[in-house]
């Protein structure tokens, strides 16, 4: 009796599997036939469309520098290293990242034409031959730094702590070039960590708009959704992309409004121009022009 029950259960399971497999095969074949119906009509044709969206910066950057002076260059360098150590403690406190760039050694004297001047040491040696009085030598060390913080960080608190610890100047320019300027300096910049990820989302949106537009002009409302899905699933096989994005306009440091043009496939050099002076969402408009190949390897 137990044997008969086991045989019966196995036969029942086998029948269910066969019935489900046949239903799935019919459904799959129907979907392939309908997909081929849409794709075959699009073969060799251009599909184009446009869309608009926005992208947001990922992190904030505080630009500035540290300054130290001394008659002994080793002592000046030691003072500068101590300031960098203090800045590192602040950076660690706010879970930020410190980046060190150029360390510029310059010379300051008080005997040239009656006022203070800083200039590179090598150029000064050439000019000292014309002076009878030996100038008083003061070595100046400039260290340009950038502090990268999360986009939701309290940037103002970081700035206050940096000033307390002896941050000498802010901005991208070295201190000796901007000290006579009365113009305000931009302190914080906003950049994109991986803008291609955000632009890929915009590209996907543009593709959907393009295939929806193409299908709506050729099929009924009942078939339009299936047509758009069929073409979008194969859009990575389309050839001859002509995709261009316009990012902006957004304000630059000089006060001008500019836009950045980015072509697909992405080029990292184009992303270097994406630097904002405010934490805002930047508008993006894109144009997509795709050509469906005449043959597919099904």
> Tens digit of pLDDT for each residue in 87-145?
999 999 999 999 999 999 888 776 544 444 444 544 444 444 444 444 577 899 999 99
Mean per-residue pLDDT over the chain, rounded: 79
pLDDT value at 148 more than 70: yes
User: What are the φ and ψ backbone dihedral angles of 17, each rounded to 5 degrees?
Assistant: -65, -45
Task: Among 18-32, 48-62, 192-206, 225-239, name the one with the lowest average pLDDT.
Answer: 18-32
pLDDT value at 181 more than 50: yes
What is the pTM assigned to this prediction?
0.75
Q: What is the pLDDT of residues 195-237, one digit of tens each?
A: 999 999 999 999 999 999 999 998 888 888 899 998 998 888 8
Structural tokens at position 76:
């000046």
Highest averaged pLDDT of the listed ranges 14-18, 166-170, 238-242, 256-260? 256-260
Q: Where are the domains of the chain?
A: 59-191
Say how far apart CA 180 and CA 263 lie, in whole Å: 41
The predicted structure's pLDDT at residue 213: 92
Q: Following DSSP, what letter does each residue of 236-259 receive, concatenated?
A: GG-B----EEEEEEEE-TTS-EEE
CB count in 10 Å sphere of residue 245? 23
């Amino acid at each position: 009796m137990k044997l008969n029950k086991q045989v019966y259960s196995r036969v029942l399971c086998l029948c269910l599997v066969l019935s489900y497999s046949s239903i799935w095969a019919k459904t799959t074949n129907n979907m392939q036939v309908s997909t081929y119906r849409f794709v075959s009509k699009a073969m060799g044709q251009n599909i184009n469309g446009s869309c608009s969206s926005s992208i947001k910066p990922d992190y904030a950057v505080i630009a500035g520098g540290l300054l130290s002076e001394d008659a002994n260059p080793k002592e000046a360098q030691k003072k500068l290293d101590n300031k960098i150590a203090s800045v590192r403690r602040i950076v660690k406190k706010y879970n930020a990242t410190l980046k060190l760039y150029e360390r510029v050694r310059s010379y300051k004297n008080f005997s040239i034409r009656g006022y203070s001047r800083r200039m590179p040491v090598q150029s000064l040696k050439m000019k000292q031959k014309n002076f009878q009085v030996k100038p008083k030598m003061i070595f100046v060390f400039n260290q340009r730094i950038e502090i990268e913080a999360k986009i939701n960080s309290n940037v103002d608190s970081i700035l206050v702590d940096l000033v307390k610890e002896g941050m000498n100047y802010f901005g991208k320019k070295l201190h000796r070039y901007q000290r006579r300027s009365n113009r305000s300096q931009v302190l914080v910049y906003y950049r994109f960590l991986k803008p291609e990820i955000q632009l890929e989302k915009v590209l996907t949106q543009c593709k959907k708009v393009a295939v929806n537009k193409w299908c709506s002009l050729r099929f009924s409302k009942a078939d339009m959704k299936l047509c758009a899905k069929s073409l979008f699933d194969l859009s990575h096989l389309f050839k001859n992309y002509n995709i261009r994005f316009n990012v902006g306009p957004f304000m630059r440091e000089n006060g001008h409004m500019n836009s950045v043009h980015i072509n697909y496939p992405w080029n990292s050099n184009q992303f270097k121009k994406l630097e904002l002076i405010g934490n805002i969402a930047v508008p993006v408009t894109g144009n997509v022009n795709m050509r469906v190949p005449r043959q597919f390897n099904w």
